[in-house]
């Protein structure tokens, strides 16, 4: 039920099985010197497709671009404004609603707080606009937090570290380079920084050296299972 692969007939047939759509959001964002710029989108789209193999649910083509704040000055990052992202969420959900979808899982491979605030804000407007929609908003890191026990060694690993390096070793080994260096940046509290590279030179937040292919495999499997649990909960949700 991957929308980009369906045709008129198969799309209509699949709608008899499910009215739930996973809408994956990613980013075009640096992921250190060792991971591809598309890491967030590759991760979230593969996760959504795996979840749809475990449970009948549609998967929309991913939105590649996201709002990137702290990595905006690193080489390779191509961000969009929050207002653009918000408008994209609304336009895509409105189009999908008119096709018959009623349950929407807005899941992002990019976990930036400002990025997610715009996605959630769009979700709130859609709840007001349509009385019969159900919407979940989450990031892949929310799923990782649920499954990390005994699997992820690094506390606070969030960007191009143990988790994402493991996933890319599993999903796109040809695009992973050696030499990802452990980094835990520290931005000043409350003060917006003009020179972001000064506080975060390497573009890694976590420890890539703890990564392995097997961890990547397990993380993706467990994330998909946790996502299916959430989808079932959303479909049964009342109120």
> What residues make contact with Zn ion under the rule CB under 5 A?
39-40
Q: In whole angstroms, how close is the CB of 15 to Zn ion at the nearest point?
A: 32
In the complex, minimum distance from the CB of residue 208 to Zn ion, in angstroms, rounded to a whole number = 12
Which pair of structure tokens corresponds to residue 13?
Answer: 């047939």
Residue 38: count other Cβ atoms within 10 Å of its Cβ.
21
φ, ψ for residue 66, nearest 5 deg = -140, 180
Closest approach, Cβ 137 to Zn ion, in A, equals 17
Compute the least distance from the CB of residue 45 to Zn ion, in Å: 13
CA 26/CA 96 separation, integer angstroms: 19
Q: In the complex with Zn ion, which residue's Cβ is closer, 123 or 208?
A: 208
By three-state DSSP, how is residue 190 classified? coil
CB 51 within 8 A of CB 228: yes
- Determine the number of helices (DSSP H) and then strands (DSSP E) in the chain: 8, 4
Least distance in angstroms from the C-beta of 58 to Zn ion: 24
Residue placing its CB nearer to Zn ion in the complex, 133 or 151? 151
Question: Of 20 and 165, which CB lies nearer to Zn ion in the complex structure?
Answer: 165
Around Cβ 44, how many Cβ atoms within 10 Å? 25
Neighbours of 199 (CB within 10 A): 12
Nearer CB in complex with Zn ion: 40/162 = 40
Give 22 or 29: the residue with its C-beta nearer to Zn ion: 29
* C-alpha dihedral, 155 to 105 to 168 to 36, nearest 10°: -100
**Max CA pair span of the chain:** 55
Q: Return the closest-CA partner of residue 224 out of 143, 105, 109, 108.
A: 143
Choice between 42 and 51, CB closer to Zn ion: 42
Shortest spacing between CB 47 and Zn ion, in angstroms: 12
In the block, which residue shows the tokens 């007001």?
128
Quick one: 93 or 227, whose CB is closer to Zn ion?
227
Structural tokens at position 64: 């590649």
Name the minimum Å distance from CB 39 to Zn ion: 5
């Amino acid at each position: 039920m991957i929308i980009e692969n369906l045709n008129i007939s198969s799309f209509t047939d699949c709608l008899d099985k499910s009215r739930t759509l996973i809408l994956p959001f990613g980013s075009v964002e640096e992921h250190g010197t060792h991971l591809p710029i598309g890491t967030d989108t590759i991760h979230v789209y593969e996760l959504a497709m795996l979840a749809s193999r475990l449970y009948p649910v549609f998967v929309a083509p991913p939105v590649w671009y996201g709002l990137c704040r702290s990595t905006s000055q690193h080489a390779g990052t191509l961000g969009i404004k929050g207002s653009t992202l918000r408008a994209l969420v609304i336009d895509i959900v409105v189009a999908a609603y008119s096709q018959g979808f009623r349950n929407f899982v807005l899941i992002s491979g990019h976990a930036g707080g400002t990025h997610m605030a715009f996605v959630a804000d769009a979700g709130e407007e859609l709840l007001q606009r349509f009385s019969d929609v159900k919407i979940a908003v989450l990031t892949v890191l929310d799923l990782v937090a649920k499954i990390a026990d005994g699997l992820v060694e690094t506390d606070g690993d969030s960007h191009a570290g143990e988790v994402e390096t493991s996933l890319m070793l599993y999903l796109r080994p040809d695009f992973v380079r050696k030499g990802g260096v452990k980094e835990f940046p520290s931005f000043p509290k409350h003060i917006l920084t003009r020179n972001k590279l000064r506080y975060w030179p390497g573009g890694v937040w976590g420890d890539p050296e703890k990564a392995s292919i097997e961890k990547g495999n397990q993380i993706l499997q467990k994330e998909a299972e946790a996502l299916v649990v959430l989808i079932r909960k959303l479909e049964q949700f009342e109120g």
